[in-house]
Amino acid sequence: MQVEELVVAGGGVIGLSCAWRAAQAGWHVTLCDPAPASGSSWVAGGMLAPVTEAWPGEEALLDLGLEALALWPGFAEELSAAAGQAAGLHAKGTVVAATGSGDRAELDALAAHLATLGRPVERLTGRELRRLEPGLGPDVRGGLSVPGDLSVDNRALLAALRAAAEKAGVVIEERAWAGEGPVLICAGAHSAALHPALSGLVRPVKGEILRLGHRRGAFPLPTRTIRALVDGRPVYLVPRPDGLVVGATQYEQGFDTDPSVGGVRDLLRDAERILPGVAEYALVEVAAGLRPGSPDNMPLIGRLDERTLVATGHSRNGILLAPLTAQLVTGLLAGEPAPAAVDPARFREDR
CB 315, min distance to ligand GLY, A: 7
228 is a contact residue toward ligand GLY (CB under 6 A): no
247 is a contact residue toward ligand GLY (CB under 6 A): yes
E strands in 273-345: 282-293, 300-305, 308-312
CB 297, min distance to ligand GLY, A: 10
Nearer to ligand GLY, 114 or 290 (CB): 290
Nearer to ligand GLY, 13 or 170 (CB): 13
Among 22, 43, 76, 248, binds ligand GLY (CB under 6 A): 248
Its sign, for the CA torsion 28, 33, 35, 39, is negative
Between strands 233-240 and 183-185, the pairing is unpaired
What are the phi and psi torsion angles at 147 (to 5°)? -65, -20
CB 294, min distance to ligand GLY, A: 13
291 is a contact residue toward ligand GLY (CB under 6 A): yes
Nearer to ligand GLY, 126 or 313 (CB): 313
CB 248, min distance to ligand GLY, A: 3
Nearer to ligand GLY, 80 or 94 (CB): 94
18 is a contact residue toward ligand GLY (CB under 6 A): no
Taking residues 154 to 193 in sequence order and writing x for each that binds ligand GLY by CB under 6 A, - otherwise, the string is: ----------------------------------------
Which residues fall within 8 angstroms of residue 104, CB to CB, at 6 or more apart? 98, 141, 142
CB 88 within 8 A of CB 47: no
Is the backbone of residue 44 left (phi > 0), alpha (psi -120 to 50) or beta?
beta
Which residues fall within 8 angstroms of residue 14, CB to CB, at 6 or more apart? 41, 186, 188, 311, 312, 314, 318, 321, 322, 325, 326
Which residues fall within 8 angstroms of residue 336, CB to CB, at 6 or more apart? none
45 is a contact residue toward ligand GLY (CB under 6 A): yes
The DSSP H or E segment spanning 152 is: strand 150-152
Residues numbered 197-226 forming contacts with ligand GLY, rule: CB under 6 A: 207
Length of the chain: 351
Nearer to ligand GLY, 161 or 248 (CB): 248
Cα distances (Å, whole numbers) of residue 151 to 63, 87, 259, 322, 323: 18, 11, 24, 13, 14
15 is a contact residue toward ligand GLY (CB under 6 A): no
Taking residues 311 to 330 in sequence order and writing x for each that binds ligand GLY by CB under 6 A, - otherwise, the string is: -----x--------------
CB 344, min distance to ligand GLY, A: 21
Nearer to ligand GLY, 39 or 247 (CB): 247
Please name every residue paired with 283 in a beta bridge, in sequence order, or none if there are none.
212
Buried b or exposed e, range 22-43, using 16+ CB within 10 angstroms: bbbbebebbbbbeebbebbbbb
Among 23, 47, 288, 329, binds ligand GLY (CB under 6 A): 47
227 is a contact residue toward ligand GLY (CB under 6 A): no
Cα distances (Å, whole numbers) of residue 276 to 137, 220, 315: 6, 11, 30
Residues numbered 100-139 forming contacts with ligand GLY, rule: CB under 6 A: none
Q: What's 222's DSSP letter? A: P
Nearer to ligand GLY, 6 or 322 (CB): 322
**Which residues form the interface with ligand GLY (CB under 6 A)?**
45, 47, 207, 247-248, 291, 316
